[in-house]
Amino acid sequence: MFNYLRKRFTSHIRERSRRRARLVSKDGRCNIEFGNVEKSRFVFLIDIWTTILDLRWRYKMTIFISAFLGSWFLFGLLWYVVAYIHKDLPEFNPSINHTPCVENINGLTSAFLFSLETQVTIGYGFRCVTEQCATAIFLLIFQSILGVIINSFMCGAILAKISRSKNRAKTITFSKNAVISKRGGKLCLLIRVANLRKSLLIGSHIYGKLLKTTITPEGETIILDQVNIEFVVDAGNENLFFISPLTIYHIIDKNSPFFHMAAETILQQDFELVVFLDGTVEATSATCQVRTSYIPEEVLWGYRFAPIVSKTKEGKYRVDFQNFSKTVAVETPHCAFCLYNEKEAKAKEKKGYDNPAFVLSEVSETSDTKM
Nearest of 237, 227, 231 to residue 189 by alpha carbon: 231
Measure Cα distances from 335 to 222, 243, 252 in Å: 27, 34, 10
Q: What is the distance between the alpha carbons of residues 117 and 123, in angstroms, rounded to a whole number?
A: 6
Q: What is the distance between the alpha carbons of residues 362 and 342, in angstroms, rounded to a whole number?
A: 40
Structural domains of the chain in order of their starting residue, each with its CATH number: 55-163 (1.10.287.70), 168-350 (2.60.40.1400)
Pairing between β-strand 178-183 and β-strand 221-229 as defined by DSSP bridges? unpaired
Q: What is the distance between the alpha carbons of residues 135 and 181, in angstroms, rounded to a whole number?
A: 80
Could you give phi then psi for residue 293, rounded to 5 degrees? Answer: -145, 160
For residue 257, the SS3 value is coil
User: Mind listing the pLDDT tens digit for each residue in 166-190?
Assistant: 777 788 899 999 999 988 888 999 9
Q: Could you report how far apart the first and last alpha carbons of the chain are, in Å?
A: 95
User: Mind listing the pLDDT tens digit for each residue in 228-246?
Assistant: 999 988 655 566 777 788 8
Q: What is the dihedral of CA 258, 260, 263, 269, to 10 degrees?
A: -70
Please list the pLDDT of the chain residue by residue as tens digits (371 residues). 666 566 666 665 555 555 547 888 888 888 877 776 666 667 777 778 888 888 888 999 999 999 999 999 999 999 999 999 999 898 888 888 888 999 989 999 999 999 999 999 887 888 889 988 999 999 999 999 999 999 999 989 888 888 777 777 788 899 999 999 988 888 999 999 988 887 778 888 889 999 988 888 888 888 888 889 999 886 555 667 777 888 889 999 888 999 888 888 888 888 999 999 888 888 778 888 899 999 999 999 999 999 888 888 888 888 888 888 899 999 888 887 777 766 665 655 555 555 555 555 555 555 554 44
CA angle (212, 216, 218) in 5-degree steps: 160
In sequence order, the 6+-apart residues with CB closer than 8 A to the CB of 97 are: none
Helix (H) or strand (E) holding 148: helix 134-162
For residue 85, the SS3 value is helix
